[in-house]
Amino acid sequence: MNSPTSKLPSRLPVTPAKQRLTLMIIGKDAPVRNALADALAASRKFSKERDDVVVAHSLEAANALARNDALAVLIDAASAREYAPVLLKLEPSAAIALVRRSGDERSAEEAHESFQIDDEMGLPPTPARVDSVLRRLRELVYLRSRTFTQGEGTGETDKLRRLNRIGVALSNERSLAALLSVILTEARSIMDADAGSIYIIEAGSGAPRARKRVGDAARQTQAAAVRREDFTTKMFSLRFAAAQNDSVEIPFHEIVFPANMESIAGYAALTGEIVALEDVYALPKGVPYKFNSSIDQKYGYHTKSILTIPLKNTYDEVVGVVQLINKKRDPQRRIDSSEAALKTLIPFPKEDIDLASSLSSQAGVAIENVRLMDAIQKLFESFVFASMRAIEQRDPSTAGHSARVDRVTLGLAQAVNDAKTGPYKDVFFNDVEMTELHYACLLHDFGKIGVREHVLTKARKLYPAEADAIAFRGEVIKRELMLAALDAELALLQRGLAVESTEAQEVRMDLQLQLAELEGDLAFIKKSTEPGYLPDEALARVKAIHAKRYRGRNGQFPLLLDSDLHSLSTRRGSLNDEERREIENHVSDSWKFLRQIPWTADLARVPEIAGQHHEKMNGKGYPNGVPAAQTPLGSRLMAVADVFDSLTAGDRPYKPAIPLERALEILDKMAQAGDLDPDVVALLKEAKLWEKLKLKVVRVADATPAQLAAQ
């Protein structure tokens, strides 16, 4: 799999291969730490001349290395929360890889939501995966180190140079969580603040977060911008989004509270003014805000000087607030309530306020850019879902199919990522590729928009009008037979024979036999319209009925027309050859339609993945008839998910849900025949995705007779 780094629109001309690395391993489990250290040292991508591997046995040891300017961290998912203070102190150039085991899903999700995780690696690591992760970490450290400065000078020239470079870094950051961390870290660093926090303006009174998009490490907040004229007409909230403290470990909990004049951050947000306070315990008289000392009291900290900076966008609207706490003479000194510690604290000088104004503009614009990008992403995703629903409304019987295929396919992709052995042990879908696969699944049937509606919704081999026409012909034939019989009886009576004569009885008996034969043919035809499998003997009878002519008063009458025979001769399903080709064309139409969309570089393969989900492993699929080697893995995962849902779905009018056990048998047979990838089918069964995803499936033990008989 290609890493997201390889998809950057422009690459730096200098290769990152010679970038030195300090690889810090963090984890509670000593055997895991040691195994990782050995695996890294044995990697082909590890340079014994330039690289170092350091195992952090404690929080203190990790803290000592956190400010290294060429650092790559490999952290056990289960340890991420405990070592959060270390991860928050990392240099902006650092890169983080998450190491996870089976059962670490919740911890890994929390780590992704809290930090910028650049890659993942399963345990035990394979040599190929170690090489891939090490190469990616080296690239990221190299690229970031060219963007961020590592200078620690305090001179004005150096601060301005760092401020300019921070602006470049902020403009390149797309993750809101990472962006806020960069803003807070650099603001504290450049102004020697011991602690700090950052808040995001949100519309309303703490509206819930937007739905998390599959594949994204984090979905951004309901960020908003405060306009002066909106102060009294709209309600805003502040989301406590990030916090750092060099002296005291304070657990971080994201909270939302009303933006009003009673808090210092709320005052800065609503007025757009920088608030510089020398001592928060001696506030100037007449100010509307108060200082909340609960954190100081609970954790033994002492807050004195505060610089609160509203972050503004290009329209002079406030989008967030940064609060810097305790300016220090000695940046290395820890702050507590002791007199010696308090003597090292000084007010934020005028130069810091000037720097804060510049940083405010840069950070505000960066946050606004991320907010607008998120709005664009949500707009596009809403368009994708609306397109999917519009297509499925043309065929209500398959409503929900694309969403279920999406769930199963992404579940299979995650099973690929979790594989420790077998054909997928060295394969990994990163976040970008998962998002790409997500959109391909949702849009895989997009081409059905071009299929005629009566074909798309055809539930039986004959359309209702065709079935009605056969029934009408049956009634006509029945009347013709009865009239012909009456004519024959009348002729006998005219010859002088009695009504109860043998000849008259034979005429009536012959009529009853013909009517019974007609009723039998009509019943057989009605049964044959169902989309099940048509055996040879049934096909022979359909052809015999088509060839048969019923003799009535006004000539000979066929029960079936040539078009009826053509449709009733369909061996499996409800579509005849021409209709099936029209349906199959939806795949190539999906490809054609999706290629018209100007996809970004990280989503460029959506048309290809969606357009090949009906290819077969033996090369006999459609639309291109290519073998497995030329079919993307995402398409092969989707193919299995598509068939699995088609078999087990209980919302199809033309068939009941097939029991799970029989559906898996059918998948196995299709894999043996070369229709599906056998490795993917095996993965579906091993992962038991129907249990993990809590899919609605029918078991054989609970199946109805109709479900057991379903084909």
Amino acid 312: pLDDT: 84
User: ∠ at Cα 167 (196, 12), nearest 5°?
Assistant: 125
Contact in structure between 634 and 609 (CB atoms under 8 Å): yes
Asked which of 306-315, 337-346, 367-376, 577-586 is least confident by mean pLDDT, the reply is 577-586
Rounded CA separation 75/67 (Å) = 16
535-563 burial code (b ≥16 CB/10 A, e <16): eeebbeebeebbeeebebeeeebbbbeee
Asked which of 34-48, 163-177, 440-454, 663-677 is least confident by mean pLDDT, the reply is 163-177
Query: Which of 386, 232, 236, 390 has the alpha carbon at shortest distance from 321?
Result: 236
Question: 519 in a domain, yes or no?
Answer: yes
Domain boundary among 574, 597, 615: 574
Based on the fold, state whether residues 415 and 348 are members of the same structural domain. Answer: no
Question: 381 in a domain, yes or no?
Answer: no
Based on the fold, state whether residues 160 and 78 are members of the same structural domain. Answer: no
Q: Taking 90 as the threshold, does the pLDDT of residue 409 lie above it?
A: yes
User: Which residue is it, tokens 């994708």?
Assistant: 384
Which CA distances in Å does 63 have to 36, 59, 107, 423?
20, 6, 21, 39
Based on the fold, state whether residues 269 and 308 are members of the same structural domain. Answer: yes
Q: Domain range for residue 701?
A: 394-451+579-709
Amino acid 160: pLDDT: 60
Based on the fold, state whether residues 562 and 496 are members of the same structural domain. Answer: yes
Amino acid 528: pLDDT: 85
Based on the fold, state whether residues 504 and 645 are members of the same structural domain. Answer: no
Domain boundary among 510, 544, 574: 574
CB atoms within 10 A of CB 637: 28
Question: 250 in a domain, yes or no?
Answer: yes
Rounded CA separation 366/564 (Å) = 66
Domain boundary among 574, 600, 633: 574
Query: Which of 460, 622, 446 has the alpha carbon at shortest distance from 527?
Result: 460
Contact in structure between 615 and 621 (CB atoms under 8 Å): yes
CATH code, domain with 675: 1.10.3210.10
Q: Taking 80 as the threshold, does the pLDDT of residue 72 lie above it?
A: yes
Amino acid 86: pLDDT: 82
| Chain segment 468-526, per-residue pLDDT in tens | 999 899 899 899 888 888 888 888 888 878 878 888 888 889 889 989 999 999 999 98
Question: 225 in a domain, yes or no?
Answer: yes
Question: 129 in a domain, yes or no?
Answer: yes
Mean pLDDT in residue range 136-162: 61
Question: 378 in a domain, yes or no?
Answer: no
pTM: 0.57
Question: 383 in a domain, yes or no?
Answer: no
Per-residue confidence band for 178, with pLDDT thresholds at 50, 70 and 90: confident
Longest CA pairwise span in the chain (Å): 138
- 532 dihedral zone (left: phi>0; alpha: psi -120 to 50; beta): beta
Based on the fold, state whether residues 588 and 691 are members of the same structural domain. Answer: yes
Torsion angle (degrees, nearest 10) of CA 178, 179, 182, 187: -150
Which CA distances in Å does 267 have to 238, 264, 310, 366?
11, 5, 9, 22
Q: Chain-wide mean pLDDT for the chain?
A: 80
Structure tokens given for 292: 């909340």
Question: 384 in a domain, yes or no?
Answer: no
Q: Taking 70 as the threshold, does the pLDDT of residue 193 lie above it?
A: yes
Amino acid 151: pLDDT: 42
Based on the fold, state whether residues 179 and 82 are members of the same structural domain. Answer: no
Based on the fold, state whether residues 164 and 290 are members of the same structural domain. Answer: yes
Based on the fold, state whether residues 222 and 315 are members of the same structural domain. Answer: yes
Q: Taking 60 as the threshold, does the pLDDT of residue 1 lie above it?
A: no
Amino acid 163: pLDDT: 64
Based on the fold, state whether residues 569 and 583 are members of the same structural domain. Answer: no
Q: Taking 70 as the threshold, does the pLDDT of residue 314 lie above it?
A: yes
- Taking the mean position of all CA atoms in its chain, how far away is CA 292? 40
Contact in structure between 116 and 217 (CB atoms under 8 Å): yes
